[in-house]
Structure 1
């Protein structure tokens, strides 16, 4: 993999290249929400809650990367491996959402899978 005439081969250096690229590309605090369907929350802003960076980082770092992607089509492995660089952007988005009382409709999307264990089929009222 290469970026800015620097070529790397091992995973740590590849992650650092991604970090450098994204930190240089997305440095602004002014986030345009033109493609996000915003919906006012009926209860208003939640000023009491403020998420901490360490909590978001820990959640990203502990993601099970072997699971399938969700509706956003972002790989759990990408989120886990890029947790350090993604955390500030995610914390900013979440805290702005809580402070403003605006919750994007897309954040409510998820895939729900029904899993029926083979053990449940053996349950009887004997």
Structure 2
């Protein structure tokens, strides 16, 4: 039990911010990523949940990506680097999107979005949905 708590503490120390999100099919989730004089948009949505796999479309800085995520496997998340890695000793800030749960009754997927930013260079802002 002590090992598990210690591991969880070390894991959470790696991330500067964490958001919990629940979204419906084809509902887009958006974040503004701000650093230096740049403002970039990161967004993702899911389109299909079949055979325990969730199909995700995501984009950051006009770069598109697609991921297939599964619960309780090593393929449960995807990572998006927010800046270029300029040297081997520098770990670029990134977002980690983790598929946590699928609610069959509400047809919603639940995610955790983590920001790893060891040098505190990034300001992350979730864009609220319009009412």
Normalising by structure 1, what TM-score? 0.27
Q: Name the structure with the higher helix share.
A: 1
Normalising by structure 2, what TM-score? 0.26
Q: Name the structure with the higher strand share.
A: 2
